[in-house]
Chains A and B, each alone.
Chain A
Amino acid sequence: METSHGICRIAVALGETHCRTLLEHVDQWQGFQALVNMILFCTGIPGHYPVDETTSTLTLTFWYTLQDDILSFDADRQALYLQMYRPLYFQLVDVLLHKSHFPSDEAFASWSSDDKEQFRIYRVDISDTLMYVYDLLGPELLRNLYDRLGRLLTESGRTASWQDIEALLFGFQSIAETVDVSYSDVIPGLVGLIPLISVTNVELADTVMFTIGSLGEWLADHPLMLGGILPVVLQALTNPDLSVSSVSALKRICRECRYNLQPHTDNILAATQDVLVKQIHKSAQCMWLMQALGFLISALPGEQILGKLLPLLSPHLQQLEHLTKETPNPSNKSAIVHILGLLSSLFTTLDTSSEREGSEDMAIARPAAVPHPDPHPVVVILQQFFPLIQAVLSKWLTDSEVVEAACAIFDKSLKTLLSSFAPLVSQLSELVGQMYGAVPQAAALDLTRQLVHIFSGEKEHFGPVKTLLELLTSITLSIFQREPRDHPDIVDSFMQLHAQVLKRKAELYLSETLDIKALFYCGILSLKFPEKPTVKSTCLFFTELVPHCEDIPAVGEVLQEDGKLLLQSLLEGVGGQAPRSLMEYFAEVLLCLNRHCHSLMSVWLQEVMLIPNFPSARVSMEQKQTFSQQILREQTNKRHIREIVRDFSQQCRGLHGTEYAGDY
Chain B
Amino acid sequence: MAYQLYRNTTLGNSLQESLDELIQTQQITPQLALQVLLQFDKAINTALANRVRNRVNFRGSLNTYRFCDNVWTFVLNDVEFREVTDLVKVDKVKIVACDGKNTGSGAAE
Contact = CB atoms under 8 A, between A and B. Distances in A.
Partners in one complex: yes
Contacts of A662: 4
Nearest to B85: A248
A124 B33 contact: no
B83 to A, nearest CB: 10
Contacts of B108: 663
Given A61-B101, A579-B20, A580-B16, A655 B30 contact: yes
B68 interface: no
A529 B6 CA distance: 26
B53 A117 contact: yes
A251 B86 CA distance: 9
Contacts of B24: 576, 653-654
Contacts of B30: 654-655, 658-661
Given A117-B53, A124-B55, A244-B84, A654 B23 contact: yes
**Chain A contact residues (Cβ within 8 angstroms of B): what range?**
20 to 34
B84 A581 contact: no
Given A177-B57, A660-B37, A655 B85 contact: no
A192 to B, nearest CB: 25
Given A61-B101, A247-B85, A576-B24, A581 B13 contact: yes
A374 to B, nearest CB: 28
A183 interface: no
Contacts of A580: 16-17, 20
Contacts of A498: none
A121 interface: yes
A255 interface: yes
Nearest to A127: B55
A288 interface: yes
B90 interface: no
A252 interface: yes
Nearest to A655: B30
Interface string A605-640: 000000000000000000000000000000000000
A663 to B, nearest CB: 8
A201 interface: no
B42 interface: no
Contacts of B20: 576, 579-580, 653, 655
B34 interface: yes
A662 B38 CA distance: 12
Interface in B1-43: 4, 7-8, 13, 16-17, 19-20, 23-24, 30-31, 33-34, 37
A587 B17 CA distance: 18
A352 to B, nearest CB: 18
A178 interface: yes
Contacts of A244: 84
A586 to B, nearest CB: 15
A121 B4 CA distance: 26
Contacts, number: 58
B90 to A, nearest CB: 15
A247 B101 CA distance: 36
B96 interface: no
Contact of A251 (B19, B23, B85): B85
A663 B59 CA distance: 31
Contacts of A576: 20, 24
Contact of A664 (B16, B23, B57, B101): B16
Interface string A221-249: 00000000000000000000000100110
B87 A255 contact: yes
A579 B53 contact: no
A658 B32 CA distance: 11
Nearest to B87: A255
Interface in B39-73: 53, 55, 57, 59
A658 B23 CA distance: 12
Contacts of A658: 30-31, 34
Contacts of A663: 108-109
Contacts of B33: 660
Contacts of A61: 101
B2 to A, nearest CB: 15
Interface string A4-39: 000000000000100000000000000000000000
21 contacts: A16-B101, A117-B53, A178-B57, A248-B85, A576-B20, A576-B24, A581-B8, A581-B13, A581-B16, A653-B23, A653-B24, A654-B30, A655-B30, A658-B30, A658-B34, A659-B34, A660-B23, A660-B33, A661-B30, A663-B108, A664-B16
Interface of A: 16, 61, 117, 121, 124, 128, 177-178, 244, 247-248, 251-252, 255, 288, 291, 576, 579-581, 653-655, 658-664
Given A580-B20, A654-B23, A660-B19, 19 more contacts: A121-B53, A124-B55, A178-B57, A248-B84, A288-B85, A580-B16, A581-B13, A653-B23, A654-B24, A655-B23, A658-B34, A659-B34, A660-B31, A660-B33, A660-B34, A660-B37, A664-B7, A664-B8, A664-B16
Interface of B: 4, 7-8, 13, 16-17, 19-20, 23-24, 30-31, 33-34, 37, 53, 55, 57, 59, 84-85, 87, 101, 108-109
Return the 6 tightest CB-CB contacts between A and B, nearest first. A658-B30, A660-B34, A248-B85, A660-B30, A579-B17, A660-B33
